[in-house]
Amino acid sequence: MPRHPDTVITPNAVLAQARQRLTSPQRPGQPLSRTELADAINASLDRLFPGQSLTAHYVDHRWVGKLERGEHRWPSPERRAALRHVFGAADDTDLDLYIPRRTAGTAGCHEPRPPLPRKRINDTKASAFLGNGSVTVVTPLKQEAIRARPVVALEDVVGAQRLGDLAKRLALDARFETVPIGGEVDLNRENLVVICGPRLSRRTAAVLDQDSRIRFESTPSGIWTLRDNETGLVHSSGLDEMPTRHWDVAYLGRLPRLDGKGTLIIFTGIHPQGSLGVVHLITTTIHELHRETADRCFSMLVGTQFAPDTGEPVRVDRLTPIYWHVGAPAPCA
């Protein structure tokens, strides 16, 4: 629909800054481009509205540019739902989306509304679970099946953004990086939160291999499982069962760095939905997690029931007790 000539245009700095806080899956260290955001929106549309004809709702970098410049302020309900999903926003006001007014005093139109205020949590003890002063969230690149492009799973993008938002509320400086195709990434650094499993990086595999309590195992058919060596139970994802279940299992731990000079937080689901479940666990119970683990090395398994249409966690449970490592409960580094 053409824009009314009297519509007041105000750039959407909130949305632009939200995009720039996300890291590019193809250009490590650089912010997410408008094209990459458009790809994430389209992927979210497919997930949120399966079986529907979405051709009219798909977007490109030009549409994202118009949105950031304020030329669009109230996209279709489907596009707004996809935007909220990508950025982990609770409602449209978090992204400064509203029905634009035309002229001052025009009846029936809304004034721009700022994002809802977010309470800043001044709890250095809880923030220490993620990092000291800053945190770098690392997510893996994967090869896209259709276009053979390196991409980050939508759940990992959403999860990294939610961890970044939590870090800011805990007064931490949040940064974002990606594990490149091939898995070569420097894990011998401070304040790392790594969302990656053994399949995509030999370096993360080496970190995880230090854990004798919980092991990643691959079946002859290539299906990944998680074995609890304390009980002998082998946990598999409901997505790999027949018939499938909307449930996944994930690993969460703090393990020593390979150089022996510190630790890192590392977690991953058998599938990305499991990783998003761990993000939910961390963002909703970080005070409890820190109180229980402090700076000790540990690991546990987390189960996530998720919505089939969105992949969002519906229920998240600890499947194991906290397993301590390297002479814990003493600090592991």
Per-residue pLDDT tens digits for 75-92: 988 898 888 878 767 678
Q: Which of 163, 169, 167 is nearest to 195 (CA)?
A: 163
Within a domain: residue 109? no
Least confident of 156-170, 188-202, 258-272: 156-170
Average pLDDT over residues 179-186: 82
Within a domain: residue 226? yes
pLDDT band at 124 (very low <50, low <70, confident <90, very high): low
Average pLDDT, the chain: 82
What is the maximal distance between C-alpha atoms in the chain?
70
Average pLDDT over residues 258-263: 94
For residues 168 and 316, state if they share a domain: yes
Q: Which residue has the tokens 């806080």?
A: 21
pLDDT band at 319 (very low <50, low <70, confident <90, very high): very high
Range of the domain at 22: 13-95
The beta-strand segments (E) located in the chain are 134-140, 142-143, 150-151, 173-179, 192-195, 214-218, 224-228, 233-236, 247-256, 263-269, 298-306, 313-318, 323-324
pLDDT band at 111 (very low <50, low <70, confident <90, very high): very low
Exposure string over 87-115, b if 16+ CB within 10 A, otherwise e: bbbeebebbbbbebbeeeeeeeeeebeeb
pLDDT at residue 122, rounded to an integer: 40
SS3 119: coil
Within a domain: residue 100? no
Domain count, the chain: 2
Within a domain: residue 293? yes
Q: State the CATH number of the domain containing residue 303.
A: 3.30.379.10
Q: Which of 307, 318, 314, 248 is nearest to 282 (CA)?
A: 318
Q: Identify the residue with better confidence: 251 or 145.
A: 251
For residues 70 and 161, state if they share a domain: no
Which of 79, 95, 111 is the C-terminal boundary of a domain?
95
Which of 95, 116, 133 is the C-terminal boundary of a domain?
95
For residues 307 and 164, state if they share a domain: yes
Q: Which two tokens mark 279?
A: 């993000």
d(CA 178, CA 157): 10
For residues 19 and 155, state if they share a domain: no
For residues 140 and 221, state if they share a domain: yes
pLDDT single digits (tens) 189-220 = 999 999 999 988 999 999 999 999 999 999 88
**pTM summary value:** 0.65
Q: Are 305 and 281 in contact (CB under 8 A)?
A: no
pLDDT at 5 over 80: no
Q: Which two tokens mark 248?
A: 């996944």
pLDDT single digits (tens) 276-317 = 999 999 999 999 999 999 889 999 999 999 998 888 999 999
Within a domain: residue 132? yes
For residues 86 and 130, state if they share a domain: no
Give burial (CB, 10 Å; 0-12/13-18/19+) of 120: exposed
For residues 177 and 287, state if they share a domain: yes
Within a domain: residue 22? yes
SS3 265: strand
d(CA 217, CA 331): 28
Q: Which of 64, 287, 252 is nearest to 159 (CA)?
A: 252
pLDDT at 98 over 80: yes
Q: Which two tokens mark 11?
A: 């750039």
pLDDT at residue 44, rounded to an integer: 81
For residues 142 and 287, state if they share a domain: yes
